Structure 1
Amino acid sequence: MTTTQLDQAITLGEVKLRISNLERSIRFYEDIVGLKLLACSEDGQSAILGLASGDEAGAKTLLVLEEIPNAAVPRRRSHAGLYHFALLLPERKALSLVARHLSSAGIPIGQADHLVSEALYISDPDHHGIEIYADRPRQEWKRDANGDYVMANAPINWDSLLAASGGEYWGGLPQETVIGHVHLHVSDLGTSRTFYVDTFGFDIVGDYKETMQALFISAGGYHHHIGMNIWAGVGASLPPRDSVGLDYYTILFPDADARKQLLDHLRSHDIAVTEHGETAIVHDPTGTQIRLRYR
């Protein structure tokens, strides 16, 4: 499917999470994940994390945390919302360094060779899923007869991955790290497909409804910017606002005109759009908030 309303050069921006203990989460995301604390609010209830550089203008925000007093922590897969957000590393050696670091930290690590990428999976203290991964070269990605990317959940060659970094030292995530994709629990794959594909303009790159009750979509031929599943159950609702969970994720456009083209298209299809300065906000059919900005 060729889209016109969604610019094919979109990328993903920061993710905001509601968490139960800000100090604990900052420690985790700095010491375990490798992000840097960029700023804290004056009231001590929220923080911005990302990648620092030599000057303030070069800092990159990847994660926003907001502490919810007395927050409930729902059971895994009990609500719609975040399954995981994914940090994309620039190369396999960086993933190797992360693997060494996580192993030495002694935390549970999931892992998978997806053929298009190699991925490590961990959870933060509030059970938010985190994927840290590195892509294989695009020329190695394969599609099946339906045009879906061929993906798998095979074991990583652990010895090969660890060997890729030799004896180098892990010093946090590299500056080139970005939010590669988000994977969501949705309430219904059909209505989500209508919104994200038919209206929003994403391309289907993995229709796995029959095999794993999931749908992968992207722009620009990427293996997926957004994954969706119904593993929390058809009709699952978002957790209450006073519990931990995903607050929003961000789509970044190359310029203001590219975003305006989509916003005009969404409004023509009666999708509610709210604008706050340079940020536009829409909600998907499950209720997940999406922030639309331009770089």
Structure 2
Amino acid sequence: MANKLHADTRLGEVKLRVSNLERSLKFYEEIVGLRVLSRTERIAELTADGRTPLLVLEEVPNATITPLRSSSGLYHFAILLPTRKDLGLSLRRLMDAGVKIGQADHLVSEALYISDPDLNGIEIYRDRPREQWEYDAQGFVKMATDPIDWEGLLAEAKGSEWNGLPEGTVIGHVHFHVGDLHKSKQFYCDAIGFEVEADLMRQMGALFIGAGRYHHHMGLNIWAGAGAPPVKPNGTGIEHFTIIVPNAAELEATVQRVKRLGIELELRDSSWWTKDPNGIAVQLRAAV
């Protein structure tokens, strides 16, 4: 039985708890560029292609907005765009809307950072081609936090109209504050099957892990402090995220790895559910 996730593993929908669904929908539609796929009074599914849910928002009763870096939980979820031009269009849209933007050139990618009205972190990024990624002597991918080329990105978008997020947009990765890096690494690497792509535990208290040599499907950090407590049940933040493996055989292999470490799972319909050491729900399912 393989001890790692299949190279074609990817992430699926992310679900967030929000304090005001109408306010959040306005932000995610008008500023981010997602579209409503379905909704009820308190829950909405959002999409980029009109078919696939990427983000689920649930308004929780008596919600409290979780202060930044106060808990283990969401640091940001990351929306991966197909092209650099798409990122340039998103940058221009955010600038036109007057949104506060963080930014970084990570060598493997160019990224913009914003927060939604409930302080849920969002990264919007594009990857450089894999043949341009570089690795160190230990085999870890080289990443940095250099300034982005603002003018170059905006030049890519010149003369084109922003019409929301394009088809081909996906959830690229998720990044969490965790209470204990070693426990989280054991869960996500030893049990789930991700591999370490960049080990920055000593330098900056962070770990980047992925499948198929992707620079990272997940980031883990202790920037909220070692032992940071989970978010309160009615606090805004992440409810769950989804790991999608290529087929039923790979799903069964993943489930067996998790069970071998004594971690509880629950089968709901065709998905398996568990929780990480920080109380974040993880959905495991097969693509076909």
TM-score by length of 2: 0.97
Identity %: 50
Alignment of 1:1-295 (within 5 A): 4-41=3-40, 44-53=41-50, 59-295=51-287
Bigger mean CA offset, 281-290 vs 245-254: 281-290
Which amino acid in structure 2 is aligned with residue 11 of structure 1?
A: R
Which amino acid in structure 2 is aligned with residue 166 of structure 1?
A: K
Contact 2:196 2:208 in 1 (8 A): yes
Which amino acid in structure 1 is aligned with residue 217 of structure 2?
A: H
The ranges of structure 1 where at least 4 consecutive aligned residues each deviate by more than 3 angstroms after the TM superposition are none
Contact 1:5 1:261 in 2 (8 A): no
Contact 2:178 2:278 in 1 (8 A): yes
Alpha-carbon distance in structure 1 between the residues aligned to 2:3 and 2:49: 35
Contact 2:5 2:194 in 1 (8 A): yes
Question: What whole-Å deviation, never above 9, does each CA across 1:189-224 have from its counterpart, x for those lacking one?
Answer: 111112212222211001001111000000001000
- Tell me the number of residue pairs that the alignment of Structure 1 and Structure 2 aligns: 287
Q: Is the partner of 1:164 in helix, strand or coil?
A: helix
**RMSD of Structure 2 on Structure 1 (CA):** 1.2
Which amino acid in structure 2 is aligned with residue 218 of structure 1?
A: G
Q: Is the partner of 2:157 in helix, strand or coil?
A: coil
Question: What whole-Å deviation, never above 9, does each CA across 1:50-75 have from its counterpart, x for those lacking one?
Answer: 1244xxxxx01000000012211121
Q: Is the partner of 2:189 in helix, strand or coil?
A: helix
Contact 1:253 1:259 in 2 (8 A): yes
Instruction: List runs of 5+ in structure 1 lacking aligned partners.
Output: 54-58
Question: What whole-Å deviation, never above 9, does each CA across 1:95-141 have from its counterpart, x for those lacking one?
Answer: 01101111101110111110000000000000000000000010110
Question: What whole-Å deviation, never above 9, does each CA across 1:133-181 have from its counterpart, x for those lacking one?
Answer: 0000101101111221111111111111111122100000011000000
Which amino acid in structure 1 is aligned with residue 29 of structure 2?
A: E
Say if 1:199 and 1:25 are closer, same or farther in 2 by CA, change over 3 A: same
**1:5 CA displacement:** 4.3
Instruction: List runs of 5+ in structure 2 lacking aligned partners.
Output: none
